[in-house]
Each structure stands twice: as C-alpha cells, then as structure tokens.
Structure 1
Amino acid sequence: MALHIFIPDSLLEETPDPKIRTYKVGQIARAAAIFGVEHIWIYKAGGKDGKFIKLILEYAETPQYLRKALFPIRKELKYVGVIPPLRTPHHKLKGRPALGEIREGIIIKKGKRLYADIGLDELAIVEGSGEGRMTFKIVSVKPLKVVSAKPVEYWGYRVHLTNKTLAKTLKKARLDLAIATSRKGEDVRKVKLPPLEGEIGFVFGSPRKGVMEILRDFNEDYPFDLILNTIPNQKTKTVRTEEAVLATLAVFNFIRRD
C-alpha cells in the first residue's frame, strides 16, 4: 500500500507571515513522515504558493547533511529552522559506517572517479554510475565503497507540483482508491471501508474552500470512491488543512491492517 496526499497551492492563502508559512508546510511534511506518506501532490486551486510549498517540503525531506549541497541560499529558506526534524530512517546521523547500511547521498565527481557524500567523515567510492542525489548501500568499509540500492523501509516522500487542476492531478496519480475529505462527508466511523490496498489518495481542500467547491470553481467533477468526514463532532468552526492531514492520516493508520 502506498499513501498519497493532495494539497492545494492555496494552502497558505490566509498566512502572510513568512515564518508561519514555513512552519505550516513543515507540519504537512511532519504528518506525511509520521504516517509514511510516499507522495505529496500539489494541485492548482487558484493559489500562488505551489513552488514555495514544494521547496519547503523537499527541503524538509532531504537529510540534513545534503541540504547545503542541494539547496543554495535563497530568501524562501530563511525560516527553515522552524521546521521540525522528520527523523525518518533515511535521515541518518553521523557515525561509523556499517556494512550493508543504506544511506542517502549525492554524487561528487573527481576526475574520472565517482564518489558519494553519504554523511560520514569521508567520501565513499561509487561502484557503478549515477548523478545527483541517490540511495546507496555500503558494500565495503575499508575502503569505503557504495553501490546504488533500493531501501526496504519507509524512505521519505516525493513531491509533485503538477500545475494541473485537482481532477487532472488525480487522474495523473492513477489511484486505486480516492478519498475526499469534507465536513459534509459521511462519518468515517459509520462507513464500511473497502480494503486498503494499492495506491490510496487523500484529498484536502484549502483554508477557504472545500474539495467539492474547488472542483466546481474549475467546472470539474471527479468520481471519488469515498467522501468522508474524518473529524466528526469537531468543535471549531474550521479545521486547518495541516490539521486535517494529521487527523485523517491518524484515523486511517488505526484502521489499516498491513
């Protein structure tokens, strides 16, 4: 099972303060990491912050030792210090290299030889080819050597800024189960849910508009499998998108049986 969440590019439309804007996106990143979301989709909803949201999400997902190389200094990153650390398995700390360990790294070319910075005190010799950021497995400690590898545990999320409307973004994602969240949806406690298998997507609205209203704004419709109220009996007038993401993923984390 792979989890997808869909958030609008208008996520920050009511948040002018740059520090709070960064923190709000960081909360989305944190929720995604806690519950093992593999894909975050940013869809077009009339907002202007899609690129900023993507940048902050990708910065948060990147291991600390790679950020300086992958993210040049820019004003949009001024307040990234407020983002809570994800502490996911691929956010390794420095230590002694261990045979068979999987680490994220970035390719560094020196002459004809390829090396990788994998967050240790020395660069690792790369056996094989590659470029940019990659996932590596340590195959030798002395000398330190790595090969490209695929992790077997949760390894962070990918961010997709589609610049497409919600319905088109959902079609692009090719989900097996599409779930819209709405205060007017069916009570999640009373719905018989189908098996949670394959590619599962949760769709969230903006601070001002719900999912269905956003679809109507673009003269769209989408055949959701479920439209659910995942926060029944809420006592506040509104629920912020980052709060809805956390609450919804928590509910389904309890339900899932894998």
Structure 2
Amino acid sequence: MTWHIFIPDSLLEESKDQKIRTYKIGQIARAASIFGVEHIWIYRAGGKDGKFIKLILEYAETPQYLRRHLFPLRDELRYAGVIPPLRTPHHKLKSKPKVGEIREGVIVKKGRMYADIGLDELAVVEDGKGLKGRHTFRIVSTKPLKVVLAQPEEYWGYKVHLTKKSLAKTLKKARLDVAIATSRKGEDVRRVKLPEFEGNIGFVFGSPRKGVLEILRDFNEDYEFDLILNTIPNQKTQTVRTEEAVLATLAVFNFIRRD
C-alpha cells in the first residue's frame, strides 16, 4: 500500500508571517513522515505558494548532512530552523560505517566518483560513472569506504510533486486505486464500512477557506471519489487547519493499514 496526500497551493492563504508559514508546512512534513506517506502532491487551487511549499517540504525530507549541498542559502529558508526534525530511517546520524548500511548521499566529485554520505570521509562510488546529485547508496567496504547504488528496504521519505494542475487533473495524473476526499460535510468515518485498501491510496485536503468539493466547483470540475469522509466528527472548533486535518486523517487510517 502506498499513501499519497494532496494539498492545495493555497495552503498558506491565511498566514502572512514567514516563520508561521514555514512551521505549518513543517507540520505536514512531520505528519507525512510519521505515517509513511510516500507522495505529497501540491495541486492548483488559486494560491501563489506552490513553489515555496514544495521547497520547504523537500528541505524537511532531505537528511541534514546533505542540505548544504542541495540547498544554497536563500531567503525562503530563513526560518528553516522551526521545521521539526523528521527522524525517518534515512535521516542518519553520524556513526562508524558498517558494511550493508544504506545511506543517502550526494555526488561531490567527478572523475573517480565520490559521495558525501554523512560520515567523516567521502565514499568512493563504484560504477558511478555519469551520476549526479542525490542517490541512495549501500556501503560495501569500510577500508576504504566504498558504496554502490541501492534500493531502500524500509520507509525512505516522501517525494513532492508540484503539478501546477487543477485538483481533478492532478488526481488523474496520480493514477490512484482509491481516492478519499476529506470534508466536514462527508460521511462520518465511524459509520462507514471501509473496504480493504490496496495499491495507491490518496487522501485529498482542502484549503483554510475552501473545502475539496468547493475547490472542484471553482474550476468547473467533477471527480468521482471513492469516499468523501469527515475524519474529525464532532469537532469543537469552527475550523480545522489543513495540517491538523492531515495528521488526524492519517491517524485514523493508520489503524486499518495491513501492509
């Protein structure tokens, strides 16, 4: 089972303070990581912050030791310190290298390829001709330190997709097996007989001012969701923020995961 979440580019429309804006996105990154979301989609909903949301989400997902290579100093990252640490399996701490360990790394030299994998020395990349940027590596030797390309064997963070497309078009692009819209007007999740889910499961969230169905109407679109659910029944606040809805919804569905 692969989880996807869909958030609007208008996520920050009620937030003016840059620190608060960064923190809100960090909360979504943290919730996605807690529950093993593998894809975060940012769809067009009339907002202007899609690129900023993508930047902060990708910065949060990147292991700390790689950020200096992949994210040059820029004003948008001024408050990156308020992003909560994700502490996912690929956010490794510095330790003694172990044969078989998988780590994220970035190519830092050409010719004979080397990678920074967050240890005291650079690692020689075997069969690394033509590689650039960030990759996943497995340590195959410690003296000298050598790595090869590898596939992670556990949850390894999320990918961010900024489609610049409307919600319905973004959902079609994602090729989901099950699409679930969250809405205060949806069916009470406690009273719905949920099927056994398999494949690519998508959870769709609205903006601070407009729900999912309203956003679809604004773009003269229709989409046949498999379920439209209220995942926070009996809420005692007038509104639920998107980052709160993401956390609450994923927590509910985490109970029925079987993978």
Same structural fold, with TM-score higher than 0.5 when normalized by the shorter chain? yes
Matched residues, number:
257
Is 1:58 the counterpart of 2:52 in the alignment?
no
Match of 1:82 in 2: 82
Is 1:169 the counterpart of 2:162 in the alignment?
no
User: Matches of 1:82 and 1:235 in 2, distance apart?
Assistant: 28
User: Matches of 2:124 and 2:75 in 1, distance apart?
Assistant: 35
User: Matches of 1:86 and 1:109 in 2, distance apart?
Assistant: 28
Give 1:142 deviation, angstroms.
0.6
Instruction: Report the TM-score when normalising by structure 1.
Output: 0.99
Letter in 2 for 1:128: D
Is 1:212 the counterpart of 2:213 in the alignment?
yes
Q: 1:52-105 CA distances to partner (integer Å, 9 max, x unpaired)?
A: 000000000000000011000000000000000000000000010000000000
Match of 2:256 in 1: 255
Give 1:140 deviation, angstroms.
0.5
TM alignment of 1:123-202, pairs within 5 A: 123-129=122-128, 130-202=131-203
> What RMSD, in angstroms, separates the aligned Cα atoms of the two structures?
0.6
User: Matches of 2:173 and 2:149 in 1, distance apart?
Assistant: 28
Letter in 1 for 2:121: E
Instruction: Report the TM-score when normalising by structure 2.
Output: 0.98
Letter in 1 for 2:51: K
Give 1:195 deviation, angstroms.
1.3
User: Matches of 1:8 and 1:178 in 2, distance apart?
Assistant: 16
Give 1:192 deviation, angstroms.
1.0
Structure 1 segments (4+ residues) deviating >3 Å:
none
Match of 1:41 in 2: 41
User: Matches of 1:128 and 1:206 in 2, distance apart?
Assistant: 46
Match of 1:106 in 2: 106
User: Matches of 2:257 and 2:66 in 1, distance apart?
Assistant: 33
User: Matches of 1:224 and 1:122 in 2, distance apart?
Assistant: 50
**How many percent of aligned residue pairs carry the same amino acid?**
83
Give 1:15 deviation, angstroms.
0.1
Letter in 1 for 2:80: V
User: Matches of 2:43 and 2:14 in 1, distance apart?
Assistant: 17
User: Matches of 2:122 and 2:197 in 1, distance apart?
Assistant: 42
Q: 1:148-179 CA distances to partner (integer Å, 9 max, x unpaired)?
A: 00001000000000000000000000000000
Match of 2:241 in 1: 240
Give 1:189 deviation, angstroms.
0.8
User: Matches of 1:244 and 1:19 in 2, distance apart?
Assistant: 21
User: Matches of 1:195 and 1:169 in 2, distance apart?
Assistant: 24
* 3-state DSSP of counterpart to 1:255: coil
Give 1:257 deviation, angstroms.
2.4
User: Matches of 1:214 and 1:82 in 2, distance apart?
Assistant: 30
Match of 1:122 in 2: 121
Give 1:196 deviation, angstroms.
1.4
Give 1:185 deviation, angstroms.
0.3
User: Matches of 2:105 and 2:252 in 1, distance apart?
Assistant: 34
User: Matches of 2:39 and 2:12 in 1, distance apart?
Assistant: 20
Match of 1:68 in 2: 68
| Structure 2: segments with no counterpart, 5+ residues | none
User: Matches of 2:184 and 2:3 in 1, distance apart?
Assistant: 21
Q: 1:112-164 CA distances to partner (integer Å, 9 max, x unpaired)?
A: 20000000000000001221100000000111000000001000000000000
